[in-house]
Structure 1
Amino acid sequence: MKPIRYTQAMIDEFKGNGFWTDETFFDFYDRNAAQLGDREALVDSRYRVTWNQAKDLTNAIATAWASGGLPKDARVIIQSPNSVYGFLARIAAERAGLISLTVYPYLRQRELEYMMELTQASMVVIPHVYRKFDYLEMYKGFMQKFPSLKQVYLFDEDVPAAAPEGTKSLVTTAQEYLGKIDQALLDSRRLDTTGDVALLTTTTGTTGIPKLVEWPIASRVCTAKGRIDIWDLNKEDITMAVAPHAGGAAGTLTYFAAPMAGAKTVMLEEFDPRLALEVMAKEKVTAIGVVPTHLVRMLEEDIESYDLSNLRFIRSAGGYLPPKVASEAEERFGAAITSDLGTQDVGSVSGCRVTDSVEVRRGSVGRPLPGNVVKLLDDDGNQVPDGEPGVLWFRGPHAPAGYYRDEELTSTVFNPDGWSTTGDIVKLDKECLWIMGRKKDMIIRGGQNIYPAEIEGMLNNHPAVGSVAVVGMPDEEMGEKTCAYVVPKPGAEFAFKDMVDFLLSKQIAKYKLPERLEIVEDMPTVGDSGKINKEDLKKDIAAKLAREKA
């Protein structure tokens, strides 16, 4: 299946510059089997496999699928908890020339029906029951509704009698085909790394049905190499998927980057803070992939009673990480927390090095990844002077091919020359991108632009501030003024004068000072992302002003 957006000129450009290669992700399993064969590759609570075993099991599963009537480019949905066979299913799909869509275990009928209809998936790989939910029963219903769905594989070793006819165990099938691997067949179905769609991912919007994004292999390999470099990831590392591997928080580290570096990956099937800490200590984990909620939950435990001396960095993504949580986590875990910028819709933009200073890692999103070109534009589309904030636009080899089979929707994100924007207002300083806020969040006070992130970054360093959000409030004279919402740290007091004096000590322009302070017990959030819902805060302050005026 040809990617929807990549042109031959684009392919020639990024291949010619060395950013896109002909390497597939399976190639790194093949290399690791040759160089690190007897070393452990993948571990969960039930299985431990070496690189030799991982390669052979992948080839076995891929042979079963390729010889079982699935044509090249057939779509397969993999709904997998963190597990060894979840990883093997993903890499086997690539090896068999199939297009895989790996989705979160918590997705249900509404989202999955949309994905089934859009992709016309031929096969699904699922657990029978996970967290007391019967996935097999749900997909039995899908088989009646979608004629394209012909085959179900279970991660379980046993297939229940009530399963649809032809349902098979992935584990049993893998063992059965170890003696039937057909290398020639698999080689004939090898995906072109720039000319074929290999992966589909889902966007993580907070409203509506997630969109599907097309990815050839080359762009994902390119990004993984960039991450490996800034994380200093190598074959001595032991990564751990605490967050689901279907998402970027853990998947980028463990599924995409770790095998390329020859690093081992440990899977935590179900999150429990104590279990996570126990596994990290037992397996001598050096890097974990989490969402902020995982850090918050683990910080509630007696971290110091576990030997986490091997841990060197934490990849937190998928939601807003409050600075106070980041600081406490770095201190108590004894590991650096990385920052980066990217989305499923537009791809990866930048990232911080593990060795960067706290100021850079906490305040910026790092340097553009190799091959990415960035420009900062004003409202008229002109580039802003050096050091001035502007809307971030970027172009490079880390971007996806677009939305699945939808040229019109893709054109709303990428222009004909391949440029796209994240919608962030940033400034470029010390070679790093510093986010000042979203364009829609910018406050215009009497014609002067105020960037909330700048003020928030300062106030987050106040010893009495637990979390802060700065929003615009309506004003008849100025158009907008600035209001700061603050959750004080437990037992601390924070007054308007404290805020003003502290900000003035940072030598900021007086027009940037918040002109109102609202003390709250907690912040509204967007869904379960942990991100502060500023729209709710804007409505709140507007309503308060209206009542006061009345």
Structure 2
Amino acid sequence: MHFASLPDHRADLDPHGPAISDGRQSLTNAELLTRVRAASHHLHDLGIGAGDVVAVKLTNRLEFVVLLFAAWRIGATITPVNPSMTDIEVERQLRDSQARLLVVEDDSTTPDTPTLSADTLYTDPAGFDPAPILDPAALSLLVYTSGTTGTPKGVMLDHSNIEAMAEMMGVALALGPTDRSLLILPLFHVNGIIVSILSPLLAGGSAVIVGRFDPKTFFDLVERERPTYFSAVPTIYNMLAALPPELVPDTTSLRFGACGAAPASDVLLTRFETRYGFPLIEGYGLSEGTCVSTCNPVHGPRRAGSVGLPLIGQEIRIVDDNGTELANGEDGEVIVRGPNIMRGYLGRPEETARTLVDGWLHTGDVGHFDPEGYLILVGRSKDMIIRGGENIYPKEIEDVLTTDPSVLEAAVIGVPDEKWGEIVVAYVQPRPGSTIDTTALTTLCEQHLTGYKRPTAYIIKAIPKNAVGKIDKPTLRSTHAEASTARVGS
């Protein structure tokens, strides 16, 4: 179903059924349709129409979802803007996307783009009710990459992309009308939009929007709102796993927690499920693939250490540098094909051509299939460390380090070395109230890793994250290099 008409469909089927809420407001299906029609009227009055781009710079709140459906109703495109970005970064995205309007939380303005405060959105459609524009090839989302590989790029997702993705998620997660998602990831990221909003709404369920994740109050929300699932990143699950042992929340409403955006360790997955009584379903995907390409089964064998099976409707291959498909067990680049694959990068035909080859999305991720067809990721090609001609994938080392009960998270990087080309350095962040013993980590790595894979140094400190919760290795590398230069110069 085209998402421009989903509010109408839900209101026809069950006008008084729950749709979305955010702690401040709660909308039934009929109320959601009214708010969507009113917001589309407001956008129309501001001169927004088919093909125009609306930038939305909002924290997690109900109006974000209303604006999604309102823009799509009149054929416009949404580009989500991270509210924590600097003015320079915001201006760059507005300029690149050619946004006609910026929706903000307050009365702030920008030099070149008209702004609209979300609090002033029309709530009464005043008879404005044109038929929704149902063009599957129209651009629905313009999602900017997090910038961990350079200047952010606009990922163009059309309506056929998001429709295919939400349908695939509904099948993979066995979603239905009784499901209720708890959104804790930011709505400016495609995971928050697809997994926690569009997928449950398409399946007939509902969604609860949380403004900001707080591990201390998270399970209070679960007990009050009774969600059936939520989606998060390993950092969040690590925080929840580190809560005091005397905390025993009621998690009986939860069928599962979805885990993605970064690899999770076997230890975390097992420890979390044992403690809280519901499984973590690890998956994998990219913004360029509209979010998810593999997922461990909700009903069926889940394999710790893997990111699961390809979603129905997508093809995945493992290829070498020449594009030749490799056998199960052999490491190579992960490439993906399906109706969820992006149209391309906005205004970047050369980068698009490098990333999309004969319909296949080249992810830059390295992995292999196990004998049962589960995908095992070993790292990103750009993260690979080459020491003395030996390829080292950081995830293998990070998985070992996080088995130490004092380690909350680990991030392994390659550092230039005159003799070996690169050597392994590990950043480790302690669990709250814990002290890391680097001698114990050395012993642990000696037990589990071949000599050339073992870190030569351990640095104990908080590990930087990017806007969507992924470990920010480019920042880690640059700060490490700066610190090394400073030491040499002192």
TM surpasses 0.5:
yes
Write the mapping of 1:524-539 to structure 2, written as runs, cut at 5 A: 524-525=463-464, 527=466, 529-531=469-471, 533=473
2:71 pairs, out of 93, 102, 120, with: 93
Is 1:521 the counterpart of 2:465? The answer is no
Q: Give CA-to-partner distance per residue, 1:183-206, whole Å, 9 cap, x none.
A: xx334xx14112x21221111113
1:394 pairs, out of 320, 328, 336, with: 336
Q: Distance in 1 between matches of 2:454 and 2:104?
A: 54
Residue 425 of structure 1: how far off its partner (Å): 1.5
Q: Distance in 2 between matches of 1:206 and 1:426?
A: 20
Residue 427 of structure 1: how far off its partner (Å): 0.8
Question: Counterpart in 1 of 2:127?
Answer: 180
Q: Is the 8 A contact 1:101 1:201 kept in 2?
A: yes
- Amino acid in the other structure paired with 2:181: T
SS of 2:284's equivalent in the other structure is: strand
Q: Is the 8 A contact 1:351 1:369 kept in 2?
A: yes
Is 1:56 the counterpart of 2:5? The answer is no
Q: Give CA-to-partner distance per residue, 1:204-232, whole Å, 9 cap, x none.
A: 11376522221111111111111222222
Q: TM-score, normalised by structure 1?
A: 0.76
Q: Distance in 1 between matches of 2:410 and 2:235?
A: 18
Residue 274 of structure 1: how far off its partner (Å): 3.7
Q: Give CA-to-partner distance per residue, 1:3-49, whole Å, 9 cap, x none.
A: xxxxxxxxxxxxxxxxxxxx311333333222232111111222111
SS of 1:88's equivalent in the other structure is: helix
Question: Counterpart in 1 of 2:447?
Answer: 501
Seen in structure 2, the aligned counterparts of structure 1 residues 449 and 405 have a Cα distance that, compared at 3 Å, is: closer
Which stretch of the first structure deviates more once superposed, 94-103 or 337-346?
A: 337-346
Residue 468 of structure 1: how far off its partner (Å): 4.7
Question: Counterpart in 2 of 1:290?
Answer: 232
Which stretch of the first structure deviates more once superposed, 306-315 or 327-336?
A: 327-336
Residue 485 of structure 1: how far off its partner (Å): 6.5
Is 1:425 the counterpart of 2:372? The answer is no
Is 1:221 the counterpart of 2:163? The answer is yes
Q: Distance in 1 between matches of 2:97 and 2:248?
A: 48
Q: Distance in 2 between matches of 1:473 and 1:86?
A: 42
Unaligned 5+ runs, structure 1: 1-22, 129-135, 157-168, 504-509
Q: Distance in 1 between matches of 2:456 and 2:158?
A: 49
Residue 515 of structure 1: how far off its partner (Å): 5.2
Aligned residue pair count: 478
Q: Distance in 1 between matches of 2:23 and 2:475?
A: 43
Q: Distance in 1 between matches of 2:226 and 2:418?
A: 60
Q: Is the 8 A contact 2:148 2:474 kept in 1?
A: no
Is 1:365 the counterpart of 2:312? The answer is no
Is 1:109 the counterpart of 2:87? The answer is yes
Write the mapping of 1:431-442 to structure 2, written as runs, cut at 5 A: 431-442=373-384
SS of 2:70's equivalent in the other structure is: helix
Q: Give CA-to-partner distance per residue, 1:214-259, whole Å, 9 cap, x none.
A: 1111111111111222222211111111122221342222222111
Residue 451 of structure 1: how far off its partner (Å): 3.9
Question: Counterpart in 2 of 1:252?
Answer: 194
Seen in structure 2, the aligned counterparts of structure 1 residues 478 and 82 have a Cα distance that, compared at 3 Å, is: closer
- Amino acid in the other structure paired with 1:281: E
Residue 491 of structure 1: how far off its partner (Å): 5.9
Question: Counterpart in 2 of 1:352?
Answer: 296
Which stretch of the first structure deviates more once superposed, 362-371 or 201-210?
A: 201-210
2:247 pairs, out of 292, 296, 304, with: 304
Q: Is the 8 A contact 2:182 2:210 kept in 1?
A: yes
Question: Counterpart in 2 of 1:315?
Answer: 258
Residue 288 of structure 1: how far off its partner (Å): 1.8
Q: Distance in 1 between matches of 2:10 and 2:443?
A: 60
Residue 305 of structure 1: how far off its partner (Å): 5.0
Pair member with larger Rg: 1
Seen in structure 2, the aligned counterparts of structure 1 residues 71 and 499 have a Cα distance that, compared at 3 Å, is: closer
SS of 2:35's equivalent in the other structure is: helix
Q: Give CA-to-partner distance per residue, 1:337-376, whole Å, 9 cap, x none.
A: 2222222235443222234555x2x411211222322222
SS of 2:131's equivalent in the other structure is: helix
Q: Is the 8 A contact 1:222 1:398 kept in 2?
A: yes
Seen in structure 2, the aligned counterparts of structure 1 residues 517 and 39 have a Cα distance that, compared at 3 Å, is: same
Seen in structure 2, the aligned counterparts of structure 1 residues 325 and 461 have a Cα distance that, compared at 3 Å, is: closer
Seen in structure 2, the aligned counterparts of structure 1 residues 499 and 291 have a Cα distance that, compared at 3 Å, is: closer
Q: Distance in 2 between matches of 1:127 and 1:330?
A: 38
Which stretch of the first structure deviates more once superposed, 256-265 or 294-303?
A: 294-303
- Amino acid in the other structure paired with 2:298: V
Q: TM-score, normalised by structure 2?
A: 0.84
SS of 1:421's equivalent in the other structure is: strand
SS of 1:174's equivalent in the other structure is: coil
- Amino acid in the other structure paired with 1:49: L
Residue 397 of structure 1: how far off its partner (Å): 1.4
Q: Is the 8 A contact 1:483 1:514 kept in 2?
A: no
SS of 1:186's equivalent in the other structure is: coil
Q: Give CA-to-partner distance per residue, 1:249-291, whole Å, 9 cap, x none.
A: 4222222211111111111123433443322211111212334
Residue 436 of structure 1: how far off its partner (Å): 1.5
SS of 1:125's equivalent in the other structure is: strand
- Amino acid in the other structure paired with 1:427: H
Question: Counterpart in 2 of 1:155?
Answer: 118
Q: Distance in 2 between matches of 1:44 and 1:321?
A: 28
Seen in structure 2, the aligned counterparts of structure 1 residues 332 and 382 have a Cα distance that, compared at 3 Å, is: same
Unaligned 5+ runs, structure 2: none
Write the mapping of 1:122-201 to structure 2, written as runs, cut at 5 A: 122-128=100-106, 136-137=107-108, 139=109, 141-142=110-111, 145-146=112-113, 149=114, 152-156=115-119, 169-170=120-121, 173-175=122-124, 177=125, 179-182=126-129, 185-187=130-132, 190-194=133-137, 196-201=138-143
Residue 67 of structure 1: how far off its partner (Å): 5.9
Seen in structure 2, the aligned counterparts of structure 1 residues 537 and 121 have a Cα distance that, compared at 3 Å, is: closer
Q: Distance in 2 between matches of 1:315 and 1:446?
A: 38
